[in-house]
Amino acid sequence: MCGYIIATHGWDATFYVTGCLALVWSFIWLPLMHNTPAQHPRISTKELEYIETAVTAGGITRTRLRRVPWREMATSLPVWAIIVGDMGNSFGLSLYMTQLPTYMKNILGFSIKDNSALSGLPFLCRYTGGLICSWSGDWLLSRGYLSIINTRRIYSAIAMLGPAVVLMVVAHSGCDPSVAVALLCFSLFLNGAITTSQLVNHTDIAPNFSGTCCWCYLLNVILFLSINKSVILCCKSIFC
């Protein structure tokens, strides 16, 4: 969509259009959301009981406000392992988001209109991969074929090592547009496995503080990316 808008109305129009769409979505979303399942006017009794039972079984308690264990979090190896994994995944994902359109235009020779659709195609594949991996991970867990920790490990390896290997193949695949686009789609399809690993891992180790852990991970990722722009520029010289 943005490529079409740029080609017809200029680059600045994309910010106005996407900003307005975000506002419209917010006005639709806010009235439909509620703080707790019990406050939802259209939830069934069976669904409410299922959610509350699952929350209790998962070790989450809301009876009182609990102190955030900052020191324990800062000295926890599992927490730092997830942070490092998030840094690596976010770095690779930011490389795709910031440099993929440039690669499509300057190296593969696609026009701005074509570039828009083709640059979004790998992320559609990532979404599809996320759905498939989420379902398969839950299936393996529910059948007892894998433990939680092994599920997280296997899907983390698929989500991060897989795209890294495919990117190296892209770097040596020449400038054939069809091959490059197919490899990029496959790369982000594999990265969709992150939904069954890094993105949910903090709920495994600290269900009562998963929101706080997620905030800490995001802060570290932002700091990491902000001080490593030179690394992204080096990668740009390789692929673009």
* Predicted pLDDT at 117: 74
pTM check: above 0.85: no
- 155 or 120: whose pLDDT is higher? 155
Mean pLDDT of the chain: 81
Looking up tokens 């490593």, which residue turns up? 228
Mean pLDDT check: name the lowest of 30-39, 94-103, 216-225: 216-225
Q: Which long-range contacts (CB under 8 A, 24 or more apart) does 20-25 make?
A: none
Among 5-9, 27-31, 186-190, 234-238, the range of highest mean pLDDT: 186-190
Rg (alpha carbons) of the chain, rounded to whole number:
21
* Predicted pLDDT at 231: 56
Nearest to 126 by CA among 188, 181, 180: 188
Mean pLDDT of 10-33: 87
Contacting residues for 34 by C-beta, under 8 A, at least 6 apart? 40
- 53 or 183: whose pLDDT is higher? 183
* Predicted pLDDT at 188: 93
- 134 or 231: whose pLDDT is higher? 134
> What is the rounded distance in angstroms from the CA atom of residue 188 to the CA atom of residue 163?
7
Share of the chain above pLDDT 90, in %: 20
pLDDT band at 228 (very low <50, low <70, confident <90, very high): low
* Predicted pLDDT at 229: 57
* Predicted pLDDT at 119: 78
Asked if the model's pLDDT at residue 235 lies above 60, the reply is no
Could you report the per-residue pLDDT of 100-133, keeping only the tens digit for each?
A: 877 877 877 777 777 777 778 888 999 999 999 9
Asked if the model's pLDDT at residue 63 lies above 60, the reply is no
* Predicted pLDDT at 219: 73
DSSP string, 156-204: HHHHHHHHHHHHHHHHTSTT-HHHHHHHHHHHHHHHGGGGGTHHHHHHH
Cβ of 184: how many Cβ atoms within 10 Å?
A: 25
* Predicted pLDDT at 233: 58
Asked if the model's pLDDT at residue 230 lies above 70, the reply is no
pLDDT band at 173 (very low <50, low <70, confident <90, very high): confident
Asked if the model's pLDDT at residue 151 lies above 70, the reply is yes
**Fold for the domain defined by 73-239:** Growth Hormone; Chain: A; (1.20.1250)
